[in-house]
Structure 1
Amino acid sequence: MKLLVDMNLSPRWVGILSEAGIEAAHWSKLGAHNAPDSGIMAFAAANNYMVLTHDLDFSAILAATRGEKPSVVQIRAEDVSPDVISKQVIVALRQMATELEDGALLTIEPNRTRLRVLPLQSRG
């Protein structure tokens, strides 16, 4: 599992994830700070990363493109500091590792975790 940490999350996430045995890189070290989300998604897909973000735009891109990769892990909490929510994120990543490798949208909230398999289907 390789995680690409989005610009809207602290670079400290990389160290926390690495200590947990999860390979991670912060976008600030890989690409332009002002890169569009679609560019970050394309980079992640081409380089076998999953995206860790606090931004709902990534799930919107997956829905609009019916994308199968990359997997996206969204943290939906007011405080996205690794000091506050990293344990919950790491547990969810480990529990859902197989689904994330196959392509999924994982949403982590303070009181629940939800997983949707890619490509996202309309709930018509």
Structure 2
Amino acid sequence: MRLLFDENLSPKMVAGLSDIFPGSAHVDRVGLGGGSDNEVWRYAKDNDFVIVSKDADFYEQSMLRGQPPKVIWIRRGNCTNRQLQLILRNKAGDIAELCMADDVSLLRID
């Protein structure tokens, strides 16, 4: 389960979750900082990543396009990187199920 963190999440998420989600990346670190959502979508699809975002745009693309890639939409207000990391750690089982399910393309975390 490799996660691709969107611009609205800190690049520090990659290192903070590397033990549970190895091989993950941040859009800034793969040359997509400031890139369009379509570019991020294609990169995630071509490189087998699950997109993690707090932005509804990827949710909407997921509903229109289906998968791959799969999308994790975090719908929490302001919270620290530490809190977000804890949320994703607590949802690791749900994220694994998302990755394995053929008929599910989105995990919404409220």
Query: Runs of 5+ in structure 1 lacking a partner?
Result: 110-124
Calculate the TM-score normalised by the size of structure 2. 0.86
Query: CA 1:64/1:95 → structure 2, altered by over 3 Å: closer, same or farther?
Result: closer
Percent of pairs identical after alignment?
Answer: 27
Q: Which of structure 1's runs of 4+ aligned residues deviate more than 3 A? A: none
What does 1:97-112 align with in structure 2 at a 5 Å threshold?
97-102=96-101, 103-109=104-110
Calculate the TM-score normalised by the size of structure 1. 0.77
Aligned residues between the structures: 107
Structure whose alpha-carbon radius of gyration is higher: 1
Equivalent-residue separation in structure 1 for 2:64 and 2:98 (angstroms):
21
Cα deviation, residue 26, structure 1 = 0.8
CA contact (8 A) 2:5 2:25 kept: yes
Query: Runs of 5+ in structure 2 lacking a partner?
Result: none
Equivalent-residue separation in structure 1 for 2:34 and 2:84 (angstroms):
26
Cα deviation, residue 12, structure 1 = 1.1
Q: CA RMSD in A?
A: 1.6
Report the equivalent of 1:51. Answer: 51
